[in-house]
């Protein structure tokens, strides 16, 4: 699976390691590209999906200045632990492409370059997120620190969120 | 984990691991199959052995190199943790209410 391919699955997430520094993540959504683009950038939407409660994290801070050169910061909190992600937008093409850096704050020297592309075809939006890590070690190690806890899925919190919004 | 990645990152080592998935082989066969000189194969096998990806077994008068599954299983588990984090995020993204999809087109435009 290469970036830009239209093979992203619906309802399930495909992931692939490419070379020794890249990770590609893909999924297709039954929603217009505009909605996915906005959900990816507007803090009021990011809050609703970026820190899954099933992973025991909440977003303590979520800010974004969505323009080229603008910065964003998402601060995740789990109990007494806090860890943040921040970065700068480098390219923004509504609603088909975003390019931004992503720094996991415990490892400030390992900025990742993320390129997100959205391709809307027949009611489906195919999203591909291409993460380019600064080194093989960064790819292997930098993200492990944030994912020590269990990864079991629960949909209960999502059901509750839906119920509260409708 | 990093050792596993580093060991697999070299193309010929990756090819050796792929070859050994079908079963253990002696050094000579690995070289012949992949068209590599024996010293090169031995050098790569040393790295793979040090990363815990291959093991040597003596069979009759041959030394056979075979895959050890543990590092690959650990790698798969690491990948799955990251994948399922994104899967959980995308599940939540999937569930953004229908009414948001009907917002005025103009509200979505950037200056």
Quick check: B10 contacting A, CB < 8 Å?
no
pLDDT in the model for residue A96: 97
Region B5-14 average pLDDT: 87
Least Cα distance to B66 among B15, B99, B26 occurs for: B26
CB of B94 within 8 Å of any CB in chain A?
yes
pLDDT value, residue A7 = 65
Q: How far apart are CA A154 and CA A159, in angstroms?
A: 10
- Cβ–Cβ gap B82/A23 under 8 Å: yes
Per-residue pLDDT tens, chain A, 166 aa: give them. 444 444 678 888 888 888 878 989 999 988 889 989 999 999 998 988 888 877 778 899 999 999 999 999 999 887 888 888 999 999 999 999 999 999 988 778 889 999 999 999 988 999 999 999 998 878 876 555 444 443 223 233 333 444 454 4
Whether the CB-CB separation of A33 and A48 falls below 8 Å is answered with: no
The answer to whether A162 touches B95, Cβ cutoff 8 Å, is yes
pLDDT tens-digit profile of B23-33? 999 999 999 99
CA distance A163 to chain B (A): 10
Query: Given B83, B94, B95, which is nearest A15 (Cβ)?
Result: B83
ipTM score of complex: 0.74
> What is the pTM assigned to this prediction?
0.72
B89 CB neighbours in chain A (<8 A) are 49-50, 52
Work out the minimum CA distance from A111 to partner chain B, whole angstroms: 18
Q: Is the pLDDT of residue B94 over 70?
A: yes
Cβ contacts from A onto B, under 8 A: 105
For residue A33, CA distances in Å to B24, B83, B91 come to: 49, 22, 16
Residue of A nearest to B84 (CA): A151
**What pLDDT score was predicted for residue A77?**
86
- Provide the shortest C-alpha distance from residue A37 to chain B (in Å): 9
Instruction: Please give the Cα distance from A74 to A76 (Å, whole number).
Output: 6
Give the chain B residue nearest A156 (alpha carbons). Answer: B92
Which residues of chain A make contact with B86, given a CB cutoff of 8 A?
Answer: 13, 15, 25, 27, 129
For residue A115, the number of C-alpha atoms closer than 13 Å in the C-beta half-sphere is 9
The more confidently predicted of residues A68 and B101 is A68
Residue in A15, A27, A34 nearest the CB of B82:
A15
């Amino acid at each position: 699976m290469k970036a830009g391919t239209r093979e992203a699955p619906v309802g399930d997430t495909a992931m692939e390691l490419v070379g020794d520094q890249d990770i590609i993540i893909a999924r297709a959504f039954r929603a217009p590209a505009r909605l996915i683009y906005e959900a990816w950038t507007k803090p009021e939407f990011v809050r609703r999906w970026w820190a899954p409660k099933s992973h025991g994290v909440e977003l303590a801070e979520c800010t974004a200045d969505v323009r080229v050169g603008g910065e964003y910061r998402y601060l995740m909190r789990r109990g007494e632990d806090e860890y943040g992600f921040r970065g700068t937008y480098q390219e923004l093409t509504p609603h088909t492409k975003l390019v931004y850096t992503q720094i996991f704050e415990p490892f400030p020297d390992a900025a990742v370059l993320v390129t997100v592309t959205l391709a809307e075809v027949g009611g489906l939006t195919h999203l591909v997120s291409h993460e380019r890590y600064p080194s093989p070690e960064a790819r292997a190690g930098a993200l492990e620190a944030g994912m020590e806890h269990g990864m079991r899925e629960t949909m209960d919190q999502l059901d509750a969120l839906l119920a509260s919004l409708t | 984990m990093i050792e596993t990645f580093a060991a697999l990152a070299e193309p010929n080592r990756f090819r050796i691991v792929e070859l050994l998935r079908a079963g253990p082989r002696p050094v000579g066969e690995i070289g012949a199959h992949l068209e590599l000189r024996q010293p090169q194969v031995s050098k790569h096998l040393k790295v793979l052995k040090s990363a815990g990806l291959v093991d040597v077994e003596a069979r009759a008068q041959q030394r056979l190199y075979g895959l050890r599954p543990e590092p690959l299983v650990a790698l798969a588990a690491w990948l799955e943790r990251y994948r399922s984090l994104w899967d959980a995020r995308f599940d939540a993204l999937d569930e953004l209410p229908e009414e948001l999809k009907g917002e005025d087109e103009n509200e979505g435009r950037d200056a």
